[in-house]
A and B are shown apart, each in its own frame.
Chain A
Amino acid sequence: MLKLFVNMMKEEWRVHSTMFGSLSFALFPVMIFGIAFMGSFLLPLFRTVVPPGYLSIIIHAIFLLLGIMVGGFGLLGMEVMNRRFGQASLLSYSARSLPISEQEIFCTFVVKDTVYYLVLWVVPFVAGFAIASPFISVPLSLSLLLFLTLTLSFLTGLALIFFLSTVYARSKRVFAALFVTLLTGWAALYLVAGINTVALFPPLQLFHAFSYDMLLAACAVVIIPSAIAVALFTSEYTDTTKRFKNAIVPLTKKLSFFPYPPLAAKDLIDLLRSGSFIGQTLFSFLIPLWLLWFLLSVLGRFIPPGDVLLLFAILTGVIASTMYTWLTMFDTFSSYTCLPVGVPALLESKICSFAVLQAIPAAFIVLVTIASGGVAYLVPAFVLCLSVSFYALAVTIWLTGLSPSVLVYDVKVLFLYLILVGIAVLALIALAFVNPYYATGSVLLFLPAWLLVKAGFTKWEIQDQPMF
């Protein structure tokens, strides 16, 4: 098992360093360290406006989300890996060729993910905070406690997603029932009983008041779902052959108003048959936004609720822009190399498909605005959300072309993305806070977005496409 673990670690490193370049990838934890170190010096400033308890909620929620994302990619990434590396399968899927049980491989995979991403994310973050702590009058013991609780938050996310994924693989009905039960339980506690469910999160309770009982509870929340996931785990490749009726011809006809109807039809089929449409909507859109809304609602005590709504609309726009990766993750350029299709045509088609997907954030922001009683903010929130989404999409296309989910991990690309999107987002937040209707000026973002897309077409047309 140790040997398998070591080889999985090497494999994970090589996968990442092949994709992003060894140096770029090695610099990633350094960047996390830098952000945490410098961000720590802003803590005294934050404390004047936000109670420390809320900051800890945000940090723990981020690491919970990170665990969810890492777990989700680990389990759903097989198709992506196959597309990028051809028939070269990863160790995680090698139960057929190695004399090792599926459970043992899955168990090692979970341990590998845990250690790997702890070293990549949690350790650099806590190290940055720990080194800055003497300068901001924070005891070092708090850094150690933070390391423990952030690790547990991350592991909770990882365990939760492994558990839900294995349940989903076994029975979609049981998964749906479980999901509804969890959602109902949360609604009953939060909406009916008025209990602050965030405060019940064991790692957070542990951070606020350390006790061995709570440590045990926090560990149980990680261990029990993980153990059930390992017990329930079954590899996907056992008889997955399905037959489908021809959908491309009728869909192409229905989508004839698109500039490239067959490409749009293929995008739609990819989304539906890969399970990405439901999975991504849930895990990459609704759950992160639900967490975000929860965290931002805390700010309602310090800033007007309308401003919180507009801030949420902006952040929804940023998250909605990542829907572009839904359209590209199963679709590398190598599929098109034998066809008379150029990169600009593919990008244009993806933008059109993306525009259709924007119905989801558009409907979502309308519902949230109405549900939160902010109907007066409906127009600015709606415009902000979609303007930011299309602008961030344009930045993504210019920087990453058809490979957003890979190239965004390149430190240079990520840095430029954060600068270009960050400046626009900060400017819009300032505008929206001055007057909500000034925020409708965000439609002007479509102009730089258009220029960036045009520049992206030229850039990616003359560059060799990365064949991941």
Chain B
Amino acid sequence: MDEKQGVIGAAGLVKEFGDVIAVDNISLSVGEGELFGLLGPNGSGKTTMIKLLTGQVRPTAGSAVVLGLDVTKDPVGVRKKVGIIPEQETPPSFLTATEYLDFVGEVRHITGVRKKADWWFDFLDFNDKRDVLCKDLSRGTRQKLMFTQAFIHEPALALIDEPLINFDPIMQRKVKDYLTEYVRRGNTIFISTHILEIAEEICSKFAILHKGKLLHTGTVAELKGRDQHLGEFFLSLVETGAHA
């Protein structure tokens, strides 16, 4: 693999919530143009890791640099540059879908946001929900809206927590194709998921977390080279809890 410029670099990241160690001394790097999958069972620390990398929570120890910015020192600067889809889709209750995208456009200073929003309404097929309050949208439509807000400014890096969980199979196919194409254009995507089929299908590189610890980092190509499926590999690692 070519040596690529680091987009994400985490060194010894630790996050404690009281007595619970959600993320335990994790170091990893993600290069430009990668579709990186952070895999792990429920409660393994994936969501906390995304929150740490986007400056939503501060690390107890360690550091992380995203697109050249220290996430602890400049969390707003990081969020300015990246697109984020959080685990829980929480657009503001009393704005309509259109208003929310206009709001995002104003906050992010995006020019021509309306035209871009129109494209997304068509692409994700929720034109009929434009003027509905976010609180009245279904989970799937909220996910579409959150997907739109994350990509509407065409960020060099998008961090997505469970990207397809609320989508139907048709929409899943569409979104997977979009993500693959987005990366092909030179951008980087960091997803966290516990659905291994998604990771195996679209990710180029992956890391496996379990109980806050990093068990393994590797590429899907390596696994395929060994004629091994990601699912089997994941289960063997998590069940033994051993570092590979």
Contacts and interface: CB of A to CB of B under 8 A. Distances in A.
A305 interface: no
A337 B47 CA distance: 13
Contact of A249 (B88, B102, B146): B102
B131 A244 contact: yes
Nearest to A261: B106
A406 B132 CA distance: 29
A331 B133 CA distance: 15
A350 to B, nearest CB: 14
A262 B95 CA distance: 12
B113 to A, nearest CB: 10
Contact of B86 (A244, A338, A462, A464): A338
Interface string A250-279: 001000000001110110011001100000
Contacts, number: 105
B: contact size bracket = 35 or more
B111 to A, nearest CB: 14
A16 interface: no
Contact of A83 (B79, B80, B93, B132): B93
Given A83-B93, A337-B84, A246 B102 contact: yes
A433 to B, nearest CB: 44
A86 interface: yes
B118 interface: no
B84 A338 contact: yes
Residue in B58, B90, B104, B136 whose Cβ sees the most chain A Cβ within 10 Å: B90
A266 to B, nearest CB: 6
Interface string A427-468: 000000000000000000000000000000000001011000
Given A273-B94, A334-B90, A243 B107 contact: no
Given A270-B92, A335-B91, A79 B86 contact: no
Given A244-B133, A248-B103, A341 B76 contact: yes
A97 interface: no
Contacts of B132: 241-243
A141 interface: no
A23 to B, nearest CB: 14
A18 B215 CA distance: 32
A243 B96 contact: yes
A241 to B, nearest CB: 4
Given A340-B80, A464-B57, A334 B88 contact: yes
A252 B106 contact: yes
Nearest to A331: B92
Contacts of A3: none
A335 B89 CA distance: 9
B21 to A, nearest CB: 15
A330 interface: yes
Interface string A24-61: 00000000000000000000000000000000000000
Interface in A211-264: 240-249, 252, 261-263
28 contacts: A82-B93, A83-B90, A241-B133, A242-B136, A243-B96, A243-B132, A248-B103, A252-B102, A262-B106, A266-B95, A266-B103, A269-B94, A269-B99, A270-B94, A273-B94, A273-B133, A330-B94, A332-B90, A334-B88, A335-B90, A335-B91, A335-B92, A338-B79, A338-B86, A341-B79, A342-B75, A342-B76, A345-B76
